[in-house]
Amino acid sequence: DVKVTQSSRYLVKRTGEKVFLECVQDMDHENMFWYRQDPGLGLRLIYFSYDVKMKEKGDIPEGYSVSREKKERFSLILESASTNQTSMYLCASSLEQGAESVQETQYFGPGTRLLVL
């Protein structure tokens, strides 16, 4: 079974703090993703990566950055947390980039619920 883990289930930070959210997958997947999920807005893509050291902006990258130094690990960084970044953050991975098949199925981590005060 694919396993995607996230470093924290719950996190409370103060405005202006630098926040690191870590994600690790154990299935040698090429692609990794960071989403945030908010009531009424669904899942929105922040950043994704299709290879080590590669990153691409998603739909809402402002206020975030990412790092992928190793294939299994994808980190989301909030340089200076703000209250509007209070959200559920979900990491996901998938096997192949550009595969036109069910192999593009994404496997999600359990999520990190971040509260910024």
Q: Provide the binding-site residues for another protein, judged by CB under 8 A.
A: 4, 33, 35, 40-45, 48, 56, 58, 90, 97-102, 104-111
Torsion sign, CA atoms 7, 13, 15, 18: negative
Task: Between 16 and 110, name the residue whose CB sits nearer to another protein.
Answer: 110
Q: How far is the CB of 98 from another protein (least distance, A)?
A: 5
Q: How far is the CB of 108 from another protein (least distance, A)?
A: 4
SS3 state of residue 44 = strand
Q: How far is the CB of 102 from another protein (least distance, A)?
A: 4
The alpha carbon torsion through 111, 2, 43, 117 (nearest 10 deg) reads 10
